[in-house]
Amino acid sequence: MENEKIIVLDFGGQYKQQIARRVREQNVYCEIYPSDIGLDKLKELSPDGIILTGGPNSVYAPESPVFDSGIFNMGVPVLGICYGSQLMAYLLGGTVKTAPVSEYGHTEVSIDKRTSKLFNEVPSDITVWMSHTDYIAEAPAGFEVTAHTGNCPVAAMENADKKLYAVQFHPEVVHTDKGAEMIRHFVLDICGCSGSWKMSSFAEETIKGLREKIGSDRVLLGLSGGVDSTVTAVLLSKAIGKQLYCVFVDHGLMRKDEGDEVEAVFGPSGKFGDLNFIRVNAGPEYFEMLKDVDDPEQKRKLIGNKFVEIFGSEARRLADSGGFKYMAQGTIYPDVVESGMGKDGAVIKSHHNVGGLPYDLVVELGFDEKPVEPLRALFKDEVRKVGLELGIPRELVYRQPFPGPGLGIRVVGEVTPEKVMIVQEADSIYREELSRAGIDTGAGQFFAALSNMRSVGVMGDFRTYDYAVVLRGVITSDFMTAEAAEIPWSVLQKCMNRIINEVKGVNRVLYDLTSKPPGTIELE
């Protein structure tokens, strides 16, 4: 893993994760660092190649992020994308100006140098994804213009002798034709990487590293049953066995039978039972706390705070029997990136598992301030690959994404045991029918929710006044945007008939067609 490495320097671009993903798809390890990392630190990392991301700023504005121009004399290939391309031009003596015509979205690009290593086997005319107000008006000395558009004279440029390449468009997004091939040419052909990084070697090296780091100390992990915490638990179990204590707080807001399924895997008789599994059945406490609460943000905060309270109480109890040196977390790379990476990295959203427990509790229990996070460098699909390598059942590895607050935010309005049971049963039927129909639910998120709308219906000879269940299905690659899934009408009808006939308290079933944006994936 450490032999070959591509570094992505983040200048505030929204597509930084996609860049890293495209690189890793070539079986080459890649990490994202903030643009203020500094030249000396960058040299210490010994990258095989460097990619400069896009960003919202203008390179000639005083407050815009810059980098030491010495980066271009390291003898390491550099690829600048969008803002990164403009920064390369600007620092090396080219001219960057406000474009007379801004380009956004799909744009036709003409490749001027078909023999460029970056554009090997790329057609002369392609459609790319543009997003810029500024442009390179004049390339620096020593550079050759390799592509253009009708409004952008330098859509791409290169100094092949110094292995410096720049593109104004975004090859990392799926909207750019042959974009993945361009990334592959840069990583393999220009940087000379072999593409030998594999998930199997990651698991083996990680288990070995955990064993060496932890030694004979004890580790505490909050186990949710999701794929991230499940894979974290198995890695640690294989590394340290009974030194691992997993606390599973069952808040009563999980999907049907999910709490029992988690215990079946990690309990004493489970496949991965070589650890200490503690299940806390806290459903009654959560339901009491959520009485008369209908604001979704308040529900999220209450559910999160209650988890910390219960987990902290259990941690104190377990600490009395010998203490812990480390707390483990299922943090993955998007959590780290979205929580901000330096002054130029935008905070997309706060993640409860970046930073761990409240600091006073960490100090009280004597935890090392830095938690054990074996998946911190991986994306979700990579975590799943590791899970399969470790022998975790496929149904757990590919379990549908589930929000931290659970069904608390899939019940619109006040949360009660009765409403949660309705959602559990409806959701179970929905997922069962999708599976029977052979619909691929791995490409997005599919679930049932309960609206707070009640309406009149007729069942048999009786009038009803019951709830409406909302079925949701979205297709997405990154969960930043999403489109409603086109589920066959016959499948939706089957779901509707079963839910109304089998789930007490429901007399209407709706299908949510809203995309993201303007909506969100969850209802609350």
Helices (H) and strands (E) in the chain, counts: 15, 17
Q: For position 354, what pLDDT does the model report?
A: 35
Catalytic residue of the set 172, 258, 425, 433: 172
Q: Are 433 and 495 in contact (CB under 8 A)?
A: yes
Q: For position 199, what pLDDT does the model report?
A: 73
Place of tokens 């550099």: 78
List the beta strands (DSSP E) in 363-477: 444-459, 462-475
Q: For position 448, what pLDDT does the model report?
A: 97
Q: For position 270, what pLDDT does the model report?
A: 85
List the beta strands (DSSP E) in 343-434: none
β-bridge mates for residue 110, sequence order:
125, 148
CA distance 493 to 473: 15
CA distance 332 to 90: 35
Backbone angles phi, psi at 500, to 5 degrees: -65, -35
Catalytic residue of the set 103, 132, 152, 170: 170
Question: Before 401, cis peptide (omega within 30)?
Answer: no
Instruction: Show pLDDT as tens, one digit a residue, over the chain (524 residues).
Output: 457 899 999 998 878 888 988 998 899 989 889 999 999 999 999 999 999 999 989 998 888 999 999 999 999 999 999 999 999 999 999 999 888 777 778 899 999 998 999 999 899 999 998 888 889 999 999 999 999 998 899 999 999 999 999 999 999 988 899 999 999 999 999 999 999 887 777 888 899 999 999 999 999 999 988 889 999 999 999 999 999 999 999 999 999 999 999 999 898 888 888 899 999 999 999 999 999 999 999 999 999 999 989 999 999 999 888 889 999 998 887 777 655 444 444 333 333 443 456 777 778 888 887 889 999 888 888 898 899 989 888 888 888 888 889 999 999 999 999 999 999 999 999 999 999 999 988 778 999 999 999 888 877 667 788 999 999 999 886 666 789 999 999 999 999 999 999 999 999 999 999 998 888 888 88
Active site residue 30: no
- Rg over alpha carbons for the chain, rounded to the nearest Å, is 26
Active site residue 172: yes
Q: Which residues of 485-516 are buried (b: 16+ CB within 10 A; e: fewer)?
A: bebeeebbebbbebbbeebebbbbbeebeeeb
Catalytic residue of the set 30, 82, 152, 191: 82
Active site residue 82: yes
Q: For position 140, what pLDDT does the model report?
A: 95
CA distance 301 to 61: 39
Which three-class secondary structure string do you get for 102-140? EEEEEEEEEECCCCCCCCCCCCCEEEEEEEEEEEEEECC
Q: Which residues are CB-neighbours of 501 under 8 A, at least 6 positions away?
A: none
Place of tokens 């799926």: 174
Q: What's the number of CA atoms in the CB half-sphere (13 Å) around residue 458?
A: 2
Q: For position 341, what pLDDT does the model report?
A: 47
